[in-house]
Amino acid sequence: MPMKAISSHTDYQYRVEVCHTPGQFPLYKQDAGIVVVIDILRATSAMVAAFHHGVKDIIPVATVEEARKYIGMPGHVAAAERNGEVVEGFPVGNSPLAFKAMDLKGKTIVISTTNGTQAINIGKDAKQLVIGAFLNLTALTDWLLRQNDNILLLCSGWRDKFSLEDSVFAGAVMDRLLDSGKFGVEEDSSIASKYLYMAARDNFMSILKAAPRRKRLQQLQLLDDVKYCLTPDQATVIPVLRGDRLVPLET
């Protein structure tokens, strides 16, 4: 796979760029009207899964304490994860398969996670903030292709460090948007994501082997969760931020 120009189009109308970590958001936000928050393992995957299984809305909160107030509240599910594990006292963390197994219909989830909910907080002033995961890849990219605005793919990373699966997913979204000719890229970070996607696309699970950090999730016996999170197009819902909560986007 020799490196070559990743798009032959130079007359694009809008930009799609990748920010690899929340901490770098101020450097990349520029004129981005739409921010897509990405935390493949596992916050944004869990959010898409939850909406797919009938949840009414999701309130992302920064701290465990905020989420804790909702434990036992009727109509609410309090969820908190830190370092890949469910926080003590909570019924659930950020496992999409755990959400799938619960009765979520019509309920409100209040969730705090290590990385994903922080990224949502950082990007919340965008004109539109939506949630991306392999689970809703095609629905998301189809919708993005219809938008007339600059797009920033915001990776949640891991404790503000680069995360391979988030960047690979950003490259997957970009791959489809660049093909249209409507969107173009300027940033090296974006080009890097695209190449990482090209290296990973034939076998997303292989990134587990490439990345020692993922061994932690394996040790936590979350391999089924990881496989689910890396499987494209299990859902068509696109969560969008309205005020303080995520709701399903009306498309």
Q: Give 86 or 192: the residue with its C-beta nearer to its own copies.
A: 192
Q: % helix / strand / coil in the chain, to the nearest 5?
A: 40, 20, 40
Smallest distance, its own copies to C-beta of residue 68, A: 28
Q: Please, which residue, 23 or 33, has the CB nearer to its own copies?
A: 23
Smallest separation (angstroms) from its own copies to the CB of 35: 17
d(CA 195, CA 177): 15
Tokens 């007359």, located at residue: 11
DSSP class per residue in 67-100: HHTTTT-TTEEEEEEETTEEPTT-SB-S-HHHHH
Name the minimum Å distance from CB 38 to its own copies: 14
- Identify which of residues 5 and 88 has a Cβ nearer to its own copies in the complex: 5
End-to-end CA distance of the chain: 37
Q: Least Å distance between CB 201 and its own copies?
A: 9
d(CA 75, CA 135): 25
CA dist list (Å): 116 to 1, 45, 60, 129, 191: 32, 10, 9, 13, 23
User: Partners of 128 in the beta sheet?
Assistant: 34
Q: Which residues bind its own copies (CB under 8 A)?
A: 1-6, 20-21, 23-24, 27-28, 158-164, 167, 185-189, 191-192, 195-196, 198-200, 202-203, 206-207, 209-213
Nearer to its own copies, 49 or 170 (CB): 170
Question: Smaller CB distance to its own copies: residue 11 or 250?
Answer: 11
The least distance separating its own copies from the CB of residue 113, rounded to whole angstroms, comes to 18
